[in-house]
Structure formats: C-alpha cells, structure tokens
C-alpha cells in the first residue's frame, strides 16, 4: 500500500544536513529523487516538480531577487487592473438609461456629428422609425446662486422629450417634459443627486443660474449626469430656458450646429431601416435649405458605436491595456528565463 511506502520514501529523500539540502533532495529533478516522489505519491505527475525545481531553488536562495521579481510582476498586474477599471467605467459599464440597446444617435457628416436645432425639429416631426427623439447639448460653466452662496456648475440644455427618450425617472420630485419646454412655461431645472448633496438643494428650492431665476422641480437618479460622461452636466434645463446659459440664436439659427440628437428606436424597426429613412429626410432638409445645409448628410448610429467613437479616452485605454499585456508577457518571460540561467 502507498501508506506503507511513505515512511520509507521520506527516509530515502531526507538527508542529514541543512534545510536547503533537504529542499534540494525533495525537489531535485534527478531521476532517483523523482522515483522517491512517485513512490510516495504514484498519482502525481512525473515531471512537474522536477521542472519547477531550479526555479523554486533560485527564489529561496536569493530573497532580494525574489522581492524585486514579485514587485515587477505585481506592478504589471496592478497597472492592467487599473486600466481595465477605467475602461470599464468609460466604455463597458452600461448607461443609466433604460434599454440602451434601443437607443441610437442621429448624426451629421460634420466632425462632431451635431446638427442645428431647426434640423432636429424637422427630423423629429417627419421620422416614423422612433418612439421619441430628443436634442441636447452642454454649455460651459455657469454661475449658480442659492441663498447667497455662489458655485460654478456645468449646465445641460435638452428638449422636453429628453428624459422621456432615455426613459429616466426622477430620484425625487419630477423631471421636465414637453409641457415645460414651451414659450411662457415656468422656468424650471433638474439637478443631479451629487449637486443636491453638496449644495443642500431640495425639490422646490429657488436658484439663480447666471441671472435667470429657476425652480428645482426634481433630483436626478443617483449617478446620472447625462447620456454619456463626455456630455455630463450638474444641472439640466429645457431648451425654452436656454437663454440662461447660451445666446438665443444657438437654438434658432439653422446654421448653428450645436445639438446632439438621441432617439429611441421602435422595437420593430431595425437600425438599417431607420438609417434609410433619415437619409431620405436629410435629403429633403438639404433641398429645402440648400444654402445653409450644403453637402450635409444625416445618418443613424447605434448607441454603442457612438459611445466608443466619441470617447477618445476609451480608445486610449484599449491601446494601453494591450500594451500592458504585452509588457507583462515580456516581463514574465524574461523573469523565468533569467531565473533558469542563474541556477
């Protein structure tokens, strides 16, 4: 039996002397020691311990080399984990919008893909491929005043259908809708949960954005700041109140391409069908406004494609991740080869 052979095997392998001699005897790759190990455990792989023996002896006999090697490998692994964490936050983590697979962006052939607000209105009125269509843009920093306290926040301006298109609900209060985005409507705003905490603002609070008084009617869900982190904002107002942060011509002039347009596809409509429709509508808009929209093309892009193509950080993270993997492989290969050479 194996148990009968075990004491004999240990007696054969364990020589008198130091612990390092005992380590060498146990993990030596010589055939006689391999037979002892096999006698002790016939089920063990015949060469696994023998192959690793020089590697393990080198690490035990040179502690400083072991520490440096572990640090090099540890830094490589930590760098890869950090890059993947950023990549996940930027690109892989799902947005807070409901059913993001149904979202698409209607873009133009301009570098940034933006269109004018009148072009957006024409598309929203004529298209039949979407449940709803919305426009938005983010302005620079705006001065927010509440009870005498001044803060600078990033403001987003969106059409009344914005939250309806994203199918986002309010964390507290309500979000503005089409009824708030008409001339003569009460000036309102919705703020992020983070701004609510830092500025101690609640539903019903009166604030002043630059020189325009607004009432906070809702707090956005935790973590939501916009469709994508590139276009995130601390506070959102309807287009009807855009004069608080931008000139009026930005939403009235067909030559001012400032709007990003997001839409929710109807369940039965494929992206290719929507693209064909938008191409037709875009040609109509071009013919009707040929002096302003000369050569301007319209197309539909999936939300995933928009997110990756727009976010340069994501592309940089992908390249850095690949580079770190290559460096990690080279470091491990060199480490193992140098260890064997030093034995």
If one compares 301 and 28, the residue with the highest pLDDT of the two is 301
Which segments within 128-169 are labelled E, that is strand? Answer: 130-146, 149-158
If one compares 278 and 92, the residue with the highest pLDDT of the two is 278
If one compares 71 and 282, the residue with the highest pLDDT of the two is 282
| pLDDT at residue 123 in the model | 96
Of 20-24, 108-112, 271-275, 283-287, which range is least confident?
20-24
Which pair of structure tokens corresponds to residue 178? 């089409």
CB 102 within 8 A of CB 264: yes
| pLDDT at residue 159 in the model | 97
- Cα separations (Å) of 70 from 27, 65, 134, 327, 331? 22, 9, 53, 15, 11
* d(C-alpha 228, C-alpha 232), whole Å: 6
Question: Which whole number is the average pLDDT over 75-84?
Answer: 71
| pLDDT at residue 14 in the model | 45
pLDDT confidence bin for 51, thresholds 50/70/90: low
* Per-residue pLDDT tens over the stretch 318-334: 666 677 767 767 766 66
CB 137 within 8 A of CB 156: yes
Residue 154 has pLDDT above 90, yes or no: yes
Which range is most confident: 52-66, 91-105, 264-278, 296-310? Answer: 264-278
- pTM for the model: 0.67
Which range is most confident: 5-19, 159-173, 298-312? Answer: 159-173
Q: What percentage of residues in the chain have a pLDDT greater than 70?
A: 67
- Cα separations (Å) of 328 from 76, 284, 321, 322? 6, 55, 10, 10
Of 44-58, 120-134, 203-217, which range is least confident?
44-58
Which pair of structure tokens corresponds to residue 167? 């199918």
Of 14-23, 51-60, 67-76, which range is least confident?
14-23
Of 5-19, 150-164, 219-233, 245-259, which range is least confident?
5-19
If one compares 230 and 23, the residue with the highest pLDDT of the two is 230
Give the list of residues 6+ apart from residue 54 with CB closer than 8 angstroms, or none: 29, 339, 340, 343
- Cα separations (Å) of 162 from 167, 180, 329? 8, 12, 47
| pLDDT at residue 304 in the model | 78
CB 135 within 8 A of CB 205: no
> Collapsing DSSP states into helix, strand and coil, what is residue 299?
strand
């Amino acid at each position: 039996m194996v148990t009968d052979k075990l004491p004999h095997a240990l007696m054969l392998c364990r020589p008198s002397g130091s612990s390092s001699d005992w380590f060498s005897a146990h993990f030596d790759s010589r055939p006689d020691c391999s037979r002892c190990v096999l006698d002790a455990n016939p089920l063990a792989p015949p060469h696994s311990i023998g192959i690793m023996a020089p590697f393990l002896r080198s690490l035990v006999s040179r502690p400083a080399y072991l520490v440096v090697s572990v640090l090099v490998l540890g830094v490589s692994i930590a760098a890869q984990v950090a890059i993947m964490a950023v990549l996940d936050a930027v690109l892989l983590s799902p947005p807070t919008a409901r059913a993001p697979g149904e979202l698409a962006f209607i873009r133009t052939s301009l570098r940034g893909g933006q269109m004018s607000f009148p072009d957006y209105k024409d598309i929203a009125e004529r298209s039949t491929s979407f449940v709803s269509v919305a426009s938005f843009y983010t302005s620079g920093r705006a001065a927010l005043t509440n009870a005498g306290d001044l803060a600078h926040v990033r403001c987003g301006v969106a059409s009344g259908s914005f939250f309806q298109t994203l199918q986002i609900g309010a964390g507290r209060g309500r979000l503005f809708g089409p009824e708030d985005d008409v001339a003569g409507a009460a000036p309102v705003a919705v703020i992020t949960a983070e701004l609510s905490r830092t500025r101690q603002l609640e539903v019903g609070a009166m604030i002043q954005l630059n020189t325009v008084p607004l009432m906070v009617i809702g707090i956005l869900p935790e973590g939501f700041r916009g469709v994508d982190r590139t276009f995130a904002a601390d506070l959102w107002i309807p287009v009807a109140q855009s004069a608080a942060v931008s000139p009026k011509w930005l939403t009235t002039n067909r030559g001012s391409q400032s709007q990003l347009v997001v839409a929710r596809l109807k369940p039965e409509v494929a992206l290719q069908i929507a693209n064909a429709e938008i191409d037709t509508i875009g040609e109509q808009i071009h013919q009707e406004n040929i002096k302003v929209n000369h050569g301007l093309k319209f197309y539909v892009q999936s939300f995933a494609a928009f997110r990756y193509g727009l976010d340069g950080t994501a592309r940089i993270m992908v390249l850095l991740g690949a580079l770190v993997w290559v460096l990690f492989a080279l470091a491990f290969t060199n480490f193992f080869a140098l260890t064997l050479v030093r034995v």
